[in-house]
Amino acid sequence: MERVVITGIGLVTPVGIGTAESWRALLAGQSGIGPISLFDCSAFRVRIAGEVKGWEPTRFIDRKKLKEMDRFTELALGAASMAVSDAKLEMTDHERERAGCFVGVGLGGLFTLEKTKETLMAKGPTKVSPYSIPGIIANLAAGQVSIAHGLKGPSYCTTSACSSGAHAIGEASEWIRRGRCDVMVAGGAEATITPVGISGFEAMFALSKRNDDPTHASPPFDKGRDGFVSGEGSGIVVLESLTRAKKRGARIYGEVTGYGASSDAHHLTQPAPNGEGAQRSMRMALEDAKLAPDAIDYINAHGTSTQVGDVEESKAIAAVFGAHATDKKVWVSSTKSMMGHLLGAAGAVETAVCALTIAEGKVAPTINLVDQDPQCPLDYVANIARERRVRHAMNNSFGFGGTNCTLVLSRLE
């Protein structure tokens, strides 16, 4: 099988527009969570989120094209443009037929959906935009990225709630591994900071209500956590076969060595007891990577800052890694403490964080961790970034419906 490497990264996140900007903010422990400005939320119990601030889509997209797309697609196009540029990716017409695009999206175009409903109710069906459906449907992030970059191989969307972006990278890697593609542009995108998005999660009592202290609203693994913070953004990576990357002398951030996926088959929103499904996902990824648990140096946790989720993930990590985890030899952190939960984009952004961790030997912290929950007994890199030569990193992404995805990235040897 072909080996798969990451040669380009593009990030659009609540802590920065750009990979360098986002990475610098994460290492500095800067929070991107603040008051919601994208709509009037004065009647809501939850009035904070991780918004992408200062987003100007015309940096990446022709103004005439904007009418075709929702905000989530704009963010994907921005991140993809950065990733392709970072990879210095150039292809012949023939090579484009073996280059594809998978972008995971959890919910799709809520901005467009809500605007369309308002137009329909106020002005009637004849005034609905012909771009409404292309704006709403989730696969148009991958579709628009494919159009923009001439990617003529497979193009589709993985929709698996909060695992969507990680599944997209895992599936894209499989296409290269099997020799059916040489290049894949893959990741996730989400933009659901809308009345429907916030009210829906609010009704589930899933969100933090720390409206008066937004920068401390996401404290994963802390006793005071009271729910996750909604975020938006996009993370896109360029994946190539090692053969192609070496032939063209590409810079390589790391290798995708392991991919695991499982289902809890347990509950609509709650994880299985002891994170049993997450355990299987992690073990599958380790087996795929042909690594023993004690080879992993760093885990970017799902770590959403929910009462049940953080405990069950910690139990799952302890079960899989044993003394390597409980003796705090593997470092774990949740970058959601700074960005909030980017839903369908989360797994992709956090996989990119793992690649940067391997490439630069720096581990981003879990901020706001001041009173660690004794049920979460691992080393969560509290508050301050650390340096470490990371050989192998793991990213966990879990979602509603019991879907689990784990990726292992490795330093190229």
Q: Which single residue is written with the structure tokens 């390589």?
A: 252
**Start-to-end C-alpha separation, the chain:** 17
162 is catalytic: yes
Identify the helix (H) or strand (E) that includes residue 120: helix 110-123
Q: Which of 162, 181, 354, 405 is catalytic?
A: 162
Half-sphere exposure of residue 5, counting CA atoms within 13 Å on the CB side?
20
CB 374 within 8 A of CB 139: no
CB 383 within 8 A of CB 367: yes
376 is catalytic: no
Residues 83, 98: Cα–Cα separation, whole Å = 18
Residues 78, 232: Cα–Cα separation, whole Å = 13
Give burial (CB, 10 Å; 0-12/13-18/19+) of 39. middle
Q: Which of 302, 324, 376, 392 is catalytic?
A: 302
Half-sphere exposure of residue 330, counting CA atoms within 13 Å on the CB side?
28
Tell me 125's DSSP state. G
Helix/strand/coil for 176: helix
CB atoms within 10 A of CB 371: 12
Residues 211, 250: Cα–Cα separation, whole Å = 45
Residues 317, 301: Cα–Cα separation, whole Å = 9
For residue 69, what are its two tokens?
């797309």
Nearest to 170 by CA among 234, 78, 239: 239
Q: Which of 149, 324, 341, 392 is catalytic?
A: 341
CB atoms within 10 A of CB 250: 19
Q: Return the active site residues.
A: 162, 302, 341
